[in-house]
Amino acid sequence: MTRGPVDSCDVLVDLRTRALGQAHEHHAQLESTNDRAAAWAADGAPHGALVTADQQTAGRGRLGRAWFSPPGQSLYASVVLRPGSDSPSLGPLALAVGLGLRDGLLALGVPSPDLKWPNDLLVGGKKLAGILCEARWSGRTPEITVGFGVNVHTAAFPSELQESATSLARLMEHPPGRAEVLLALLAGLEPVLDSFFASGFPAVMARYIDACVTLGREVRIGSHEAPQEATTATAERIDETGALWVTPEGGGPQTRVQTADVWLIAPSDAQRSR
């Protein structure tokens, strides 16, 4: 496939943000853009500093998993955030990031992007993008790295992702280049982060809930590492801390879930999870 110059993220023309991406480093290859951004933050990178790479050799996902990061096919980006010591609780930050990136995908014309709690971006039940937020404290001041990976041109996934992943190339007749995707995502993310840092998760919670496909659904809750221990429940609500409240199968009091893998159970077939 021939790709235009906007596919490369080394120079970002038409950046529409106040802070995100205004300082920018691009690398042909990195172990992980999150690691490079954290190192740059420790070295004084400003709020909004952006690291991109064409390839990651040790891309990381949530809960210590690997993130498929082949050269030139996907977007790998990390942003340094310095919300200040008086910022609201950062627990639900990843949910706000998901919402901002979803706004960016909508602006690109991606059909019906959904948020699966806490922060997977799905289209048609398949994962298009993932988010990894990591925080360190320098005294009382948080220093955050928000990393996101978006499958842009990916035509072939490894067999274990075949059923669960998708890409813009699979979803759109004329998929945008990676730089165009990045610019739209940063433009979507910035106002949501501004609201979040000014007023906390309640400021964006209604929009998050509106976009979240997990609520009202039957789900399996557990971890990929021990799927046999997962339990079935109904996802009821999301609270102001970003936690998910579920009613266990068979009834009983609602329980609060803060970090877990959640699989949606297809309404048509309660035995088949995706």
Chosen residue from 21, 147, 188, 242 binding ligand BTN by CB under 6 A: 147
Tell me the CB-side half-sphere exposure of residue 87, using CA atoms within 13 A.
22
The CA distance from 56 to 30, in Å, is 5
Tell me the window of 38-46, 145-153, 183-191, 234-242 that interacts with ligand BTN (CB under 6 A): 145-153
Query: Are the beta carbons of 168 and 153 closer than 8 angstroms?
Result: yes
148 lies in the site for ligand BTN, by CB under 6 A = yes
The CA distance from 203 to 192, in Å, is 9
Q: Which of 195, 123, 131, 209 is nearest to 165 (CA)?
A: 123
Query: What are 53's strand-pairing partners?
Result: 27, 76
Least distance between ligand BTN and beta carbon 247 (Å): 26
Query: Are the beta carbons of 48 and 20 closer than 8 angstroms?
Result: yes
Binding mask 94-123 for ligand BTN (x = CB under 6 A): --------------------------x---
154 lies in the site for ligand BTN, by CB under 6 A = no
Query: What are 137's strand-pairing partners?
Result: 142
Q: By CB under 6 A, what part of segment 212-271 binds ligand BTN?
A: none
Tell me the window of 125-133, 203-211, 215-223, 234-242 that interacts with ligand BTN (CB under 6 A): 125-133
Cβ nearer to ligand BTN, comparing 77 with 230: 77
Contact residues for ligand BTN, defined by CB under 6 A: 32-34, 56, 59-62, 65, 67, 76-78, 120, 130-132, 147-149
